[in-house]
Amino acid sequence: VLRAHNRATIVDVTHEVPAQDIEAGAFFVASCIGRFPRGTVHLAVVDPGVGTARRLLAVEAAGDHWIGPDNGLLDAVLALEAAVVRAIEPAALGLRAASRTFHGRDLMAPVAGWLAGGRRGFATLGPTIADPRRLPAEAGDRVLVVDRFGNLITNVAGSRVTPGRTRLRIAGRELRCVGTYGDAGRGELVALVSSYGTVEVAAVDGSAYDLLRVGRGAAIELLDRDG
Amino acid sequence: VLRAHNRATIVDVTHEVPAQDIEAGAFFVASCIGRFPRGTVHLAVVDPGVGTARRLLAVEAAGDHWIGPDNGLLDAVLALEAAVVRAIEPAALGLRAASRTFHGRDLMAPVAGWLAGGRRGFATLGPTIADPRRLPAEAGDRVLVVDRFGNLITNVAGSRVTPGRTRLRIAGRELRCVGTYGDAGRGELVALVSSYGTVEVAAVDGSAYDLLRVGRGAAIELLDRDG
Amino acid sequence: VLRAHNRATIVDVTHEVPAQDIEAGAFFVASCIGRFPRGTVHLAVVDPGVGTARRLLAVEAAGDHWIGPDNGLLDAVLALEAAVVRAIEPAALGLRAASRTFHGRDLMAPVAGWLAGGRRGFATLGPTIADPRRLPAEAGDRVLVVDRFGNLITNVAGSRVTPGRTRLRIAGRELRCVGTYGDAGRGELVALVSSYGTVEVAAVDGSAYDLLRVGRGAAIELLDRDG
């Protein structure tokens, strides 16, 4: 990136996406929307199809640009209003991959740097396309990511739970929903709305993962006290 | 931070504080004093009380600013001469937390960015207070942090040990104090002064943690050969 | 670094070198050659000899500068044409190590910052020397690094294998060489050329390390189908 734009400010959002896990990567991509200064160029690489014929995308949406493989990773960005999608043409841009196992460095990073530094405009990257790959329809309420604290981050929208009323079932346990960690006792397993806006399962001052031993993909059921 | 000050230089000091461990976090905060360019804004978030009534602090000390929760995390900074402490008033500053589980992003980062970029002065953040929370009095000589090399970093001031004379007792073992790794044999367990200025227990070319299997909180005793 | 040059752009290349592993560190140093903007100052610290009499080096090569201990870590840079090597003289530069266990912060980082910011020229750092330490001659084809995906990165030049023809023997298994992950089935163990330019052993959508349970130092043998 710096070779393409040597005054770039680079932020490493995360390197904790599980290997090859496009859906988890897409979750972190979604969490970046609107969180950076307008005009930011976002570069996302979770790319098990590297070296095959899969396309590389450049997307313009919500005032930002997004670069990544055409495999669903940018799904949340593609869903934004007025998103424009282009298929990057590396050869026409003078780019050649030195390797068939990682295109982040040789193909995607230069494009991101050029856009950020103004050396190339979005319209010059390749033709617009209408059929970028989306994520498959979601397979129900479940855990998407286990963070480094052992919290289980789910795909359940925070608006669907009410602290003090909703209960959540996971791994044979039934947990109450609270507003924040301080509303529960030390070690208690609870559900609450995470900073990503979705529900998380947490153990107060502990690790929910260590207590439940379920992670990525674990099914979740919401129950209402009145129901 | 970048949304509040888009030319900020950001340094990630560490993300290796054990979850919820305020005292270990406070150790890393202390280790940053005087180590960055004068005028640096330090942002520290180890915040198990997030979402409760605990205050947020802004501290001016030694030419720098420090932002963090009022839970002892900034203890070493509060101990600096002429430290001025303010309780941040998020609502008066136009800040609203989107979540009750993480205030680093929505409340503390904007304040840090404003201070760093000069958009707001320290005096405008909230009233000065005289009763910030301090860490509880220390419970004796012990291990504070296990680093990623397996070194056991303690709270024992380096000035209390003399290489070649002092001996250190931990986990039923008695170790000699050396000046540096090269003064001991491969695999030997020794005590020496770490780059933090406190004593560390290390295994030369190995991991003290793997050999001793004790960590955070393990008691330490100093012995003098002459004693 | 920022205290020596407060507008420095800092890139953390990696903190995943196994403790004390000079040869693995040297591999990452080599992988940075030519990958950053011309004029970059590279700082590398894998330094088991810290606190002993080992020298500190500053090297000028290929338009960049490199700072590190004199223990073989900079081997690939020393091999570059027209490399100039100086032994840094900390005392003459007004530098004093606060610790005998880590010189990255107190001695090497200031020098790197001065060079990057132009406060000191390369020629002022100390005398040129002709006998920097090199890595011992390589002990054959083997695994150098296990990355966080569980890929086994080897020291075998990519030019020595031909996808579809070469076979690779490791840990009693014989693997075929492919062009990229998509050329093999899910879970299959294969060999292919990594983005470092050397051969890697990988499990498609999985971890080669988990399947083979060998790592650093594991021997490799190349076989040709025609052979």
pLDDT mean over A179-185: 91
Say whether B207 and C3 touch across the interface (CB within 8 A). Answer: no
Å between A183 CA and nearest CA of chain B: 8
* In contact, B105 and B43? CB cutoff 8 Å: no
pLDDT digit string (tens) for A79-94? 999 999 999 999 999 9
pLDDT digit string (tens) for C171-180? 999 999 999 9
Å between B32 CA and nearest CA of chain C: 12
Distance of alpha carbon C125 from alpha carbon C102, whole angstroms: 20
Nearest to B52 among A11, A182, A192 (CB): A182
Residue C198 forms beta bridges with which residues?
C157
Q: What local confidence, expressed as pLDDT, does residue A227 receive?
A: 47
Distance of alpha carbon B186 from alpha carbon B202, whole angstroms: 11
The residue of chain A nearest to residue C150, with distances taken between CA atoms, is A19
Distance of alpha carbon B111 from alpha carbon B86, whole angstroms: 12
pLDDT digit string (tens) for B101-149? 899 999 999 999 999 999 999 999 999 999 999 999 877 999 999 998 9
The residue of chain B nearest to residue C18, with distances taken between CA atoms, is B149
DSSP A123: G
> Strand (E) positions, chain B?
41-43, 56-61, 64-69, 84-87, 143-146, 152-157, 166-170, 173-176, 189-193, 198-203, 221-224
State the number of CA atoms in the 13 A half-sphere of B119 facing the CB.
16
Nearest to B102 among A37, A150, A195 (CB): A195
Distance of alpha carbon B59 from alpha carbon B61, whole angstroms: 6
Instruction: Output the CA angle A222-A225-A227, nearest 5 degrees.
Output: 80
Distance of alpha carbon C223 from alpha carbon C170, whole angstroms: 11
Q: What local confidence, expressed as pLDDT, does residue C139 receive?
A: 76
For residue B226, name the pLDDT band (cuts at 50, 70, 90).
low
- Provide the greatest CA pair distance for chain C: 63
Higher pLDDT among residues A226 and A187, named by residue: A187
pLDDT digit string (tens) for B44-80? 999 999 988 999 999 999 999 999 999 999 999 999 9
Instruction: Output the CA angle C224-A102-A50, nearest 5 degrees.
Output: 85
Chain mean pLDDT for chain A: 94
Q: Which contacts (CB < 8 Å, 24+ apart) does range A94-99 have?
A: A98/C195, A98/C197, A99/C193, A99/C194, A99/C195, A99/C197
Å between C204 CA and nearest CA of chain B: 29
pLDDT mean over C114-129: 98
pLDDT digit string (tens) for B6-48? 999 999 999 889 888 999 999 999 999 999 999 999 999 999 9
Edge-to-edge strand ranges of the sheet holding C221-224: C173-176, C166-170, C221-224
> Helix, strand, or coil here: B137?
coil
Burial class (CB in 10 A: 0-12, 13-18, 19+), A21: middle
Distance of alpha carbon C124 from alpha carbon C54, whole angstroms: 20
The CA-to-CA distance between both ends of chain A, in Å, stands at 54
* In contact, C162 and C220? CB cutoff 8 Å: no
Q: DSSP for chain C, please give it.
A: -TTT-TT-------S-SPTT-HHHHHHHHHHHTTSS-TTPEEE----TTTTSS--EEEEEETTEEEEEESSSTTHHHHTSTT-EEEE--TGGGT---S-SS--IIIIIHHHHHHHHHTSS-GGGS--B-S----PPPP-SSBEEEE-TTS-EEEEEEGGG--TTTEEEEETTEEEEB-SSGGGS-TT-EEEEE-TTSEEEEEETTS-HHHHH---TT-B-EEEETT-
For residue C226, name the pLDDT band (cuts at 50, 70, 90).
low
Pairing of strands C41-43, C64-69: parallel
Say whether C3 and B35 touch across the interface (CB within 8 A). Answer: yes
* In contact, B52 and A180? CB cutoff 8 Å: yes
Chain A touched by B19 (CB under 8 Å)? yes
* In contact, A167 and A224? CB cutoff 8 Å: yes
- pTM of the prediction? 0.93
Nearest to A101 among C37, C150, C181 (CB): C181
Say whether C2 and B36 touch across the interface (CB within 8 A). Answer: yes
* In contact, B98 and B31? CB cutoff 8 Å: no
Chain mean pLDDT for chain C: 94
Q: Which of A53-62, B86-95, C138-147 has the lowest mean pLDDT?
A: C138-147
CA-wise closest residue to A186 among C40, C53, B49, C96: B49
Distance of alpha carbon C31 from alpha carbon C132, whole angstroms: 20
pLDDT digit string (tens) for C150-198? 999 999 999 999 999 999 999 999 999 999 998 999 999 999 999 999 9
CA-wise closest residue to B217 among B72, B18, B71, B29: B18
What the block records as the tokens of A125 is 């990257």
Q: What local confidence, expressed as pLDDT, does residue B205 receive?
A: 87
Has residue B227 got a pLDDT over 70? Answer: no
Q: What local confidence, expressed as pLDDT, does residue A163 receive?
A: 94
User: How many C-beta neighbours within 10 Å does residue B59 have?
Assistant: 21
Pairing of strands B56-61, A221-224: unpaired
CA-wise closest residue to B114 among B100, B94, B97: B94
Tokens 């509880």 belong to B136
Q: How many helices (H) and strands (E) does chain A have?
A: 4, 11
Reported ipTM: 0.90
Chain A touched by C192 (CB under 8 Å)? yes
Distance of alpha carbon A134 from alpha carbon A140, whole angstroms: 17
Distance of alpha carbon B70 from alpha carbon A204, whole angstroms: 19
Has residue C45 got a pLDDT over 90? Answer: yes
Distance of alpha carbon C184 from alpha carbon C193, whole angstroms: 14
Has residue B169 got a pLDDT over 60? Answer: yes
CA-wise closest residue to B200 among B189, B210, B187: B189
Has residue C227 got a pLDDT over 60? Answer: no
CA-wise closest residue to A151 among A172, A170, A124: A170
Chain C touched by A52 (CB under 8 Å)? yes
Edge-to-edge strand ranges of the sheet holding B166-170: B173-176, B166-170, B221-224
Å between C185 CA and nearest CA of chain B: 36
Say whether B194 and C52 touch across the interface (CB within 8 A). Answer: no
Chain A touched by B100 (CB under 8 Å)? yes
Instruction: Output the CA angle A154-A156-A157, nearest 5 degrees.
Output: 125
Distance of alpha carbon A203 from alpha carbon A142, whole angstroms: 17
Q: Which of B8-17, C61-70, C108-117 has the lowest mean pLDDT?
A: B8-17
What the block records as the tokens of B27 is 């150790």
Find all residues with CB under 8 Å of B58, minimum gap 6, and list them.
B65, B66, B67, B85, B86, B88, B111, B115, B122, B125, B126
Contacts of C181 in chain A (CB under 8 A): 48-51, 101
User: How many C-beta neighbours within 10 Å does residue C12 have?
Assistant: 8
Contacts of C106 in chain B (CB under 8 A): 195
pLDDT digit string (tens) for A191-224? 999 999 999 999 998 999 999 999 999 999 999 8
pLDDT mean over C29-49: 96
* In contact, A17 and A24? CB cutoff 8 Å: yes
Q: Which of A35-39, A164-168, B222-226, C96-100 has the lowest mean pLDDT?
A: B222-226
Chain A touched by C181 (CB under 8 Å)? yes
